[in-house]
Amino acid sequence: MKGFKQFILRGNVVDLAVGVVIGASFGTVVNSLVKDILTPFISAIFKAPDFSGLMFIVNGSSFMYGNFINSLIAFIIVATSVYFFVVTPINTLISKTRKEKPLDPTTKKCTECLSEIPLEAKRCPYCTSVLK
């Protein structure tokens, strides 16, 4: 029982459980955003938010391509919403918090011709002036 307790309380398992719970809650928020805000907005513009009635029949078989169109539109709306309302702000936040270390210079400018030369150089390869 002690080994099982260590396994459950290990950081990765707890992190995964928290991630699943937060992911499920976040899925509800995104679905609500799509269903309650974005879909009515599209309905107001195009006046046709539901394509589920679209179908054709071949030899008695119904091909309900309207449901596929509804699912495709919902997927595009969800993917776009997640990208613009989650991915983009988080990437911006991460880039602002990350501070890039300045790289150590490996070159310097020649005092005579202002060309880039290695730090260890004693003579400029372009103008052949002696460097101090």
Q: CA 82, CA 27: separation in Å to the nearest integer?
A: 10
Task: Tell me, yes or no, whether 32 and 92 share the same domain.
Answer: yes
Model pLDDT, residue 49:
63
Model pLDDT, residue 2:
82
C-alpha dist (Å) from residue 115 to 105, 109, 111, 127: 14, 5, 8, 9
Model pLDDT, residue 116:
92
Task: Tell me, yes or no, whether 83 and 129 share the same domain.
Answer: no
Task: Tell me, yes or no, whether 7 and 67 share the same domain.
Answer: yes
Model pLDDT, residue 48:
66
User: Is the pLDDT higher at 3 or at 9?
Assistant: 3
Model pLDDT, residue 58:
93
Predicted confidence (pLDDT) per residue in 24-72, tens digit: 888 788 777 767 777 677 777 877 666 677 789 999 998 988 778 777 8
CA angle at residue 78 from 77 to 83, to 5 degrees?
Answer: 100
- The answer, yes or no, to whether residue 84 has pLDDT greater than 90, is no
Tokens of 68: 């596929």
Task: Tell me, yes or no, whether 108 and 58 share the same domain.
Answer: no
Task: Tell me, yes or no, whether 62 and 124 share the same domain.
Answer: no
Q: CA 112, CA 9: separation in Å to the nearest integer?
A: 66
Predicted confidence (pLDDT) per residue in 89-127, tens digit: 888 888 887 777 777 788 999 988 999 999 888 899 989
Tokens of 72: 């495709």
Number of independent structural domains in the chain: 2
Model pLDDT, residue 57:
92
C-alpha dist (Å) from residue 17 to 11, 23, 86, 90, 94: 10, 10, 21, 21, 24
Predicted confidence band at 11 (pLDDT cuts at 50, 70, 90)?
A: low
Q: 25: domain range? A: 2-97
